[in-house]
């Protein structure tokens, strides 16, 4: 073999080694004959499936909701990079990657620990029934289950397959039949074998651009190692325990109210006698949270700082894309927010004000 042929062979082998990991991403997606109803069922029951990967999200909902809800505004209004390791719904870890480090969530049974790299601080809390959205809700499999919760076969249809993170993923379109939601449709691309959503796009109104996208850039359906979902921080880490995970959890535990079972025709999803109510299913969902006077004043000021805010005797309304926020002004203050129409949100606020009771009294 001549030197030229020898070096050509070496170059060919090197090229194959470099390109081999990229080949699955370059291949066209394969057609799938799985029905829309079957694919929907697989997505809805995928919570116990293991996986890991790298996720990028892109939100276009810019909410002016002040410091108390700044994390919520960031989730749906910014771009994020996430690393996720998911054994099942009782054991998972989601890391948000930042320029200055990372912010981690580690879930173990009934407890969740949040870790701030910059502050070297880890805070463990009981995982509550009611809480505000967090980064783990934005990974595609979680978002797939959230958006399709309660959906029926008559609301879904098939989309052509796409190759997502190297996986040939059949597509699914959800078009909700509810007239109370602000979501026009949700497009999902799903790992056919596991039912895990690999890419989710949420659309509002007639826009051709999604208001929220979350997608895997790297994906594996193999179960992560136990150490990958464990609390493994070392060094000088300040550790604390907090009996509440966020403002909604604190209000639900300690505010002396009981919300009604039904508002604006939507059933309460949660049991018990808490002060916070989560109503509806899937993309027709809202949350109602009581606020202390100072917190309500701060939120009202933030809402009124937006040119789109509408102030009435009953409260302050701000609608941004598919998300509407209403802060009541009668007596105690409740903030309601969700992907429901303004009419639905205002009716829900009226029902909350009329139907809320002090704990210990019969409804």
Question: How high is the pLDDT of residue 362?
Answer: 44
Residue among 116, 126, 139 nearest 233 (CA): 116
Average pLDDT, rounded, for the chain = 89
Q: Is 240 helix (H, G, I), strand (E, B) or coil?
A: strand
φ/ψ of 147, rounded to 5, equals: -70, -30
Does the pLDDT value for residue 140 go beyond 80?
Answer: yes
Fold of 247-358: Phosphorylase Kinase; domain 1 (3.30.200)
331: confidence class by pLDDT, cuts 50, 70, 90: low
| Burial bucket for residue 359 (CB in 10 Å: 0-12, 13-18, 19+) | exposed
Q: 39-65 b/e with 16+ CB inside 10 Å = b?
A: bbebbbebeebbbbbbbebebbbebbb
The Cβ of residue 247 has, within 10 Å, a number of other Cβ atoms equal to: 20
Does the pLDDT value for residue 199 go beyond 80?
Answer: yes
**Of all helices (H) and strands (E), which one includes residue 5?**
helix 3-19
Contact 171, 198 (CB under 8 A): no
Predicted confidence (pLDDT) per residue in 253-294, tens digit: 999 999 999 999 999 998 778 999 999 999 999 999 999 998
Higher pLDDT, 64 or 126: 126
134: confidence class by pLDDT, cuts 50, 70, 90: very high
Question: How high is the pLDDT of residue 99?
Answer: 85
Mean per-residue pLDDT, 22-44: 80
Domain layout of the chain by residue ranges? 27-242, 247-358
φ/ψ of 272, rounded to 5, equals: 90, -175
C-alpha distances in Å from residue 343, one per residue of 265, 324, 340, 349: 12, 10, 8, 10
Question: How high is the pLDDT of residue 26?
Answer: 53
Fold of 27-242: outer membrane lipoprotein receptor (LolB), chain A (2.50.20)
Question: How high is the pLDDT of residue 65?
Answer: 73
Mean per-residue pLDDT, 85-114: 93
Q: What is the CA radius of gyration of the chain?
A: 23
Residue among 109, 338, 120, 313 nearest 233 (CA): 120
Question: How high is the pLDDT of residue 18?
Answer: 53
Q: Is 186 helix (H, G, I), strand (E, B) or coil?
A: strand
Question: How high is the pLDDT of residue 20?
Answer: 45
């Amino acid at each position: 073999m001549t030197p030229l042929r020898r070096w050509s062979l070496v170059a060919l082998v090197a090229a194959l080694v470099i390109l081999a990991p990229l080949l699955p991403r370059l291949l066209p997606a394969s057609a799938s004959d799985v029905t829309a109803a079957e694919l929907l069922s697989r997505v809805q029951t995928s919570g116990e499936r293991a996986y890991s990967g790298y996720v990028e999200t892109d939100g276009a909902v810019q909410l002016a909701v002040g410091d108390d809800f700044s994390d919520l505004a960031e989730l749906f209004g910014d771009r994020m990079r996430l690393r996720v390791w998911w054994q099942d719904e009782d054991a998972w870890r989601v890391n948000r990657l930042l320029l200055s480090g990372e912010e981690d969530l580690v879930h173990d049974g009934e407890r969740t620990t949040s870790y701030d790299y910059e502050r070297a601080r880890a805070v463990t809390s009981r995982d509550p029934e009611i809480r505000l959205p967090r980064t783990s809700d934005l990974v595609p499999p979680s978002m797939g289950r959230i958006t399709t919760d309660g959906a029926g076969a008559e609301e879904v249809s098939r989309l052509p397959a796409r190759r997502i993170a190297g996986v040939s993923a059949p597509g699914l379109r959800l078009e909700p039949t509810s007239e109370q939601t602000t979501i026009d449709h949700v497009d999902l691309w799903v790992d056919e074998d596991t039912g895990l959503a690999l890419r989710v796009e949420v659309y509002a109104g007639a826009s051709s651009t999604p208001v929220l996208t979350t997608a895997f850039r790297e994906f594996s359906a193999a179960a992560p190692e136990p150490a990958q979902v464990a609390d493994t921080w070392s060094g000088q880490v300040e550790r604390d325990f907090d009996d509440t995970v966020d403002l909604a959890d604190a209000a639900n535990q300690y505010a002396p109210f009981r919300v009604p079972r039904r508002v604006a025709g939507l059933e309460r999803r949660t049991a018990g006698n808490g002060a916070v109510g989560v109503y509806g299913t899937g993309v027709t969902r809202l949350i109602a949270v009581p606020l202390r006077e100072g917190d309500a004043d701060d939120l009202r000021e933030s809402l009124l700082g937006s040119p789109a805010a509408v102030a009435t005797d009953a409260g302050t309304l701000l609608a941004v894309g598919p998300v509407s926020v209403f802060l009541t002004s009668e007596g105690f203050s409740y903030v309601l927010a969700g992907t429901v129409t303004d009419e639905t949100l205002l009716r829900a606020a009226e029902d909350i004000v009329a139907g809320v009771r002090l704990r210990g009294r019969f409804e």
